[in-house]
Amino acid sequence: MSTPASTPTLPLVLGLVGGLVGGMLGASTLPMLTSSSSEDDQLDALSKQVSAYEIQVTELKQQLATQAIAVANAASQATAAAKASADQPPREVSAASEDAIRAFLINNPDVIFMDALETFQANEPIYTARRFAKVLDSGLRDPLYNSSSDPFLGNPDGDVVLVEFFDYNCGYCKRSAPDLFKTVEADGNIKLVMKEFPILSEASRVAAQAALASQKQGLYDVYHTTLMNFQGRVTEDVVFEVAQEVGLDVDQLKVDMQSDFVAQKLAQTSALADQLGVTGTPAFMVGNTFLPGAVPAAQIEQAVDLARKVASNS
């Protein structure tokens, strides 16, 4: 005689529901905290995100209650079928435990939600990398990492390409810059691609135009780093004062700023940011890793190491 299937246990059912919630969260787009030109804007953005999270949590709880009933019913049916096939009374052993499981899941959806949320948070980097890889594989990998017209710092032949979307008036970008430059220099084998993404002011756009135009005079690296290290707001006057300071021909720079190349480059970067879901600065990308916000240098180093490992195994 075959051994009848064991009665479903609570941890098993919780695991199944946890997987369902992890899948739902993994398939969603997580909001990103982005830098802003004012604290009021940041607080307003955070308030909106909190409200959105509260709505999502309420909806998830409702969905979980429904899922719990479905899982409990499926477990009940599977147990009954297994016992019937073994010529055992289908419900004489399992009825009480099945009812208890169903009642627990219905009356305690918060327990299921928190368990599933913890599972998701533990695996969030994996879920994020998978989503980002799918986005890149839709045709965005080359324009992100391999555009020959992008300005760059570091090693032009580096084995890893690190991309930053930034704005010269972004305080978070400026605070991240020194450690970022040190990381690239210390590694020695990183190509740091700069995506000029002026979103904070008209002066930011002028600065981005000037920086892109400075490539024609071969001084992008020193101009970029000087602007990023400038303490205070980058105004139009500052744009040209710094240009003169680093040895650029300012009159020629102003002509080159109005070129089709500069206009097209800014438009391309803006479109790429939209497609990638970049809504603020800074935003870093390397391999299949997307790091929004002013992340610590150690986190960038870890992402670079991961990109190298993936490349060596491909």
Residues 66 and 184 in one domain: no
Residues 120 and 151 in one domain: no
- Residue 270 forms part of a structural domain: yes
- Residue 4 forms part of a structural domain: no
- Residue 62 forms part of a structural domain: yes
Looking at residue 96, its pLDDT comes to: 61
Residues 32 and 71 in one domain: yes
- Residue 254 forms part of a structural domain: yes
Looking at residue 38, its pLDDT comes to: 58
- Residue 140 forms part of a structural domain: no
Residues 187 and 291 in one domain: yes
Residues 181 and 73 in one domain: no
Please give the tally of structural domains in the chain: 2
Paired tokens of 192: 């740091």
pTM: 0.61
Domain CATH for 205: 3.40.30.10
- Cα–Cα distance between 295 and 175 in angstroms, integer? 10
Pairing of strands 190-196, 283-286: unpaired
Residues 60 and 116 in one domain: yes
Q: Do you know the residue count of the chain?
A: 314
Q: Which of 124, 158, 182 is the last residue of a domain?
A: 124
Q: Which of 57, 89, 124 is the last residue of a domain?
A: 124
Residues in contact with 8: Cβ distance below 8 Å, sequence separation at least 6, in sequence order: 75, 78, 79, 97, 98, 101
The domain in which residue 161 lies consists of 146-313
Looking at residue 310, its pLDDT comes to: 87
Pairing of strands 160-166, 190-196: parallel
Looking at residue 303, its pLDDT comes to: 92
Residues 80 and 177 in one domain: no
Residues 302 and 159 in one domain: yes
Q: What are the C-alpha distances in Å from 93 to residues 3, 8, 40, 89, 97? A: 14, 12, 61, 8, 8
One digit per residue, the tens of pLDDT, for the chain of length 314 reads 433 444 444 444 344 434 443 444 343 333 343 444 455 666 666 666 656 666 665 666 566 555 555 555 555 555 555 555 555 554 454 566 777 777 776 777 666 666 655 554 444 444 466 678 888 888 999 999 999 999 999 999 999 999 999 999 999 999 999 999 999 999 999 999 999 999 999 999 999 999 999 999 999 999 999 999 999 999 999 999 999 999 999 999 999 999 999 999 999 999 999 999 898 999 999 999 999 889 899 999 999 999 999 888 87
- Residue 247 forms part of a structural domain: yes
Residues 155 and 55 in one domain: no
Looking at residue 262, its pLDDT comes to: 97
- Residue 82 forms part of a structural domain: yes
Residues 307 and 196 in one domain: yes
- Residue 32 forms part of a structural domain: yes
Tell me the torsion sign for CA atoms 264, 195, 141, 291: negative
Residues 46 and 84 in one domain: yes
Residues 90 and 190 in one domain: no
Query: Of all helices (H) and strands (E), which one includes residue 184?
Result: helix 171-187
